[in-house]
Amino acid sequence: MDFSREKAWSVLTEHVGDMALRKHCVAVEIAMRAYAEKFGEDPEYWGAVGLLHDIDFDKFPDEHPRHAAELLAPYGYDRQFADDIMAHSPDWAPERTRLQKTLVAVDPLTGFILACALVRPDKSLDNLELKSILKKMKDNSFSRAIKREWIIDSAQALGVGLEEHMEFVRTALAEAVKTPLYRAARLVG
Ligand SMILES: [Fe+2]
């Protein structure tokens, strides 16, 4: 089966028109790839799950991510792949696999870290310090849509320390945006 980035990207752009949502999907892809490498898993597969995890959001914002399977099936993605995406629904009942827990954990955190970088004068992920991310976690007026308990609980479910998780994802994003592929995504402007 073809889990290549090239294919996943073309499917994403067919179904997700919103540029901010595409950027979010790319950020989640980057973090998924980094965790796959850390865990000795397949970065291509984990990255494709990240890139396509919000595939049904434009069409079914209220029922997301329950329509992922039907949107992905015509492209040859199998049920396991669709389940790996649909498992980031808050009401997913089965025990999540490590990949699925990772998706739940990086989904809110990537957005939060990018938001922290974007309010810096230099918009730099390199210069964004852990203590400043932690400070923003306590500032309820900042990035209000991202519930802090999503970040905290999902890291715990994955079995990673919160600070270590933040630093890992920040580093993954900071390194990725220096590469030609991800520089083009303009995650931090
Ligand atoms: Fe998402």
Q: How far away, in angstroms, is 139 Cα from ligand 1 center?
A: 22
Identify the CATH class of 5-183: mainly alpha
Q: Which of 172, 39, 147, 84 is nearest to 187 (CA)?
A: 172
Mean pLDDT for the chain overall: 97
Q: How far away, in angstroms, is 124 Cα from ligand 1 center?
A: 22
Taking the C-alpha atoms of residue 116 and residue 165, their distance in angstroms, rounded to an integer, is 15
pLDDT digits (tens, 9 = 90+) for 123-174: 999 999 999 999 999 999 999 999 999 999 999 999 999 999 999 999 999 9
> What is the pTM for the complete model shown?
0.97
Q: How far away, in angstroms, is 65 Cα from ligand 1 center?
A: 9
Q: Which of 88, 47, 82, 81 is nearest to 68 (CA)?
A: 82
Grade residue 189 by pLDDT with cuts at 50, 70 and 90: confident
Compute the average pLDDT of residues 97-113: 98
